[in-house]
């Protein structure tokens, strides 16, 4: 299934790939503001001769049609940055925009996919079918995939494949497990309304601070007593706004948090329980409650055949020692929306290297990648598409 010419072509483009990644790193753009990034990708596609169309407000869908008809495989890279101040002092390609940074590696995703596109375009006369390249905006706010789908990105697609550079994995290791990979990532906002008053006269009030505190303490029982212990779930309240002054009993409390799990039925059960807890805790203290439960990303569940297919490609292209197991993460990933429309898989490409100081957590101001890992990522993109279109297993 492996095309040795792809390996040669990718290796020959290594310096260009790193230079392009560093250019994007210097000019990070937030979700749905990736106008320069989109333009730079388009310029490179123009140089190659690959046809594409711009999506709105940002992003690109490009295609290579093989010599003969066949299936369509979609390769996706996200391109947005984060509102994070860069703290890397030892590199010469730091962000030039204060408070904005490629702190999750999406700059490398775009560079790897562009490099894979160059290799596959060179071999287009040997392809059976079509490769669709998606440079997607706004992954960090879980909105870009939905917007791309609305603009037709999944039309007539038979299989999808994506990846994420991963600082928690050593460089030269790749994971693509069957089943759960990323969790659903929902947003919770609960507003409690009581009755304020003087701190010395609590009997004339309904204390929203007590209501909020009771709610925060009690909802952990949802996970520990209402959810199957074999089903991972996280309920976190990360922000509380309660009260206005030291001697004024709070009338209002606003709580915000997130819920993570790997099962849509568990997700529904947690939502229902949170609404029930909010209503009953509020009633117990004579307050009222309003719950806003916002669905974020779906759980990202790698389809079995696609994940096993990716594993076989990793082993054949790079050796059995490169393939590794990585436990599912409760982080979110909007690639999950593509998997609603077609089977596919999502891989994690290692870039953690102590010697190069690239083991910082994603979204940290010191985050950086070992660029040696990009060679594997770019080739994996290309080899997956090549093998999928030129074999008869699917």
Q: Indicate which residue of 139, 251, 334, 370 is catalytic.
A: 139
3-state secondary structure of 306: helix
Q: How far apart are CA 37 and CA 135, in angstroms?
A: 10
Handedness of CA 65, 162, 91, 103 (dihedral sign): positive
Alpha helices per DSSP H over 13-143: 14-26, 35-48, 106-122
Chain position carrying tokens 């079509």: 130
Cβ atoms of 203 and 349 closer than 8 Å: no
Decide if 124 contacts 64 (C-beta within 8 A). Answer: yes
- Annotated binding residue at 109? no
Q: Is 164 annotated as a binding residue?
A: yes
Active site residue 150: no
- Identify whether the C-beta of residue 72 lies closer than 8 Å to the C-beta of residue 132: yes
Adjacency order of strands within the sheet including 233-242: 233-242, 252-261, 184-193, 288-297
Catalytic residue among 34, 78, 80, 107: 80
DSSP tag of 258: E
Question: Minimal CA–CA distance to 196: which of 186, 210, 183?
Answer: 210
363 is annotated as contributing to ligand binding = yes
Q: What are phi and psi of 123, to 5 degrees?
A: -105, 20
34 annotated as ligand-binding: no
Rg (CA), the chain: 24
Query: Is 362 annotated as belonging to a binding site?
Result: no
23 is catalytic: no
- How many Cβ atoms sit within 10 Å of the Cβ of residue 310? 28
Which amino acids are annotated as binding site for Mn(2+), given as ranges?
104, 106, 140, 164, 363
Q: Which residues are annotated as a binding site?
A: 104, 106, 140, 164, 363
Active site residues: 80, 139
């Amino acid at each position: 299934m492996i095309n040795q010419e792809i390996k040669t072509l990718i290796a020959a483009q290594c310096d260009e790939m790193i230079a392009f990644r560093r250019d994007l790193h210097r000019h990070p753009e937030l979700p749905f503001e990736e106008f320069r990034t989109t333009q730079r990708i388009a310029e490179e596609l123009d140089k190659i001769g690959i046809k594409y169309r711009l999506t709105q407000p940002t992003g690109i869908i490009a295609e290579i049609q093989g010599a003969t008809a066949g299936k369509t495989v979609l390769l996706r890279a996200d391109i947005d940055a984060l509102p994070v101040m860069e703290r890397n002092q030892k590199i010469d390609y730091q962000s030039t925009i204060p408070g904005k940074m490629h702190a999750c590696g999406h700059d490398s995703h775009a560079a790897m996919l562009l490099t894979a596109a160059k290799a596959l375009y060179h071999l287009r006369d040997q392809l059976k079918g079509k490769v669709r390249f998606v440079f997607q905006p706004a992954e960090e706010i879980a909105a870009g995939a939905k917007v791309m789908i609305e603009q037709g990105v999944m039309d007539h697609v038979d299989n999808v494949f994506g990846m994420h550079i991963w600082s928690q994995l050593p460089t030269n290791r790749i994971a693509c497990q069957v089943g759960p990979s990323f969790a659903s990532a929902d947003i919770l906002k609960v507003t409690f309304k009581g009755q304020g008053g003087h701190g010395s006269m609590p009997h004339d009030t309904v204390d929203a601070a007590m209501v909020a505190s009771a709610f925060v303490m009690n909802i952990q029982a949802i996970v520990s007593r209402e959810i199957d212990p074999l089903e991972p779930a996280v309920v976190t309240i990360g922000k509380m706004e309660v009260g206005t002054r030291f001697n004024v009993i709070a009338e209002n409390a606003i709580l915000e948090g997130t819920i993570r799990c790997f099962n849509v039925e568990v997700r529904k059960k947690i939502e229902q329980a949170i609404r029930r807890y909010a209503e009953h805790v509020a009633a117990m203290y004579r307050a009222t409650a309003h719950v806003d439960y916002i669905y974020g990303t779906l759980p990202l569940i790698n389809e079995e055949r696609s994940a096993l297919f990716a594993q076989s490609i990793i082993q054949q292209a790079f050796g059995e020692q490169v393939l590794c197991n990585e436990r599912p993460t409760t982080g979110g990933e909007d690639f999950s929306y593509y998997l609603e429309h077609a089977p596919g898989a999502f891989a994690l490409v290692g870039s953690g290297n102590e010697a190069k100081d690239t083991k910082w957590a994603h979204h940290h101001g010191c985050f950086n990648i070992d660029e040696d890992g990009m060679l594997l990522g770019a080739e994996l993109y290309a080899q997956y598409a090549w093998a999928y279109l030129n074999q008869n297993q699917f």
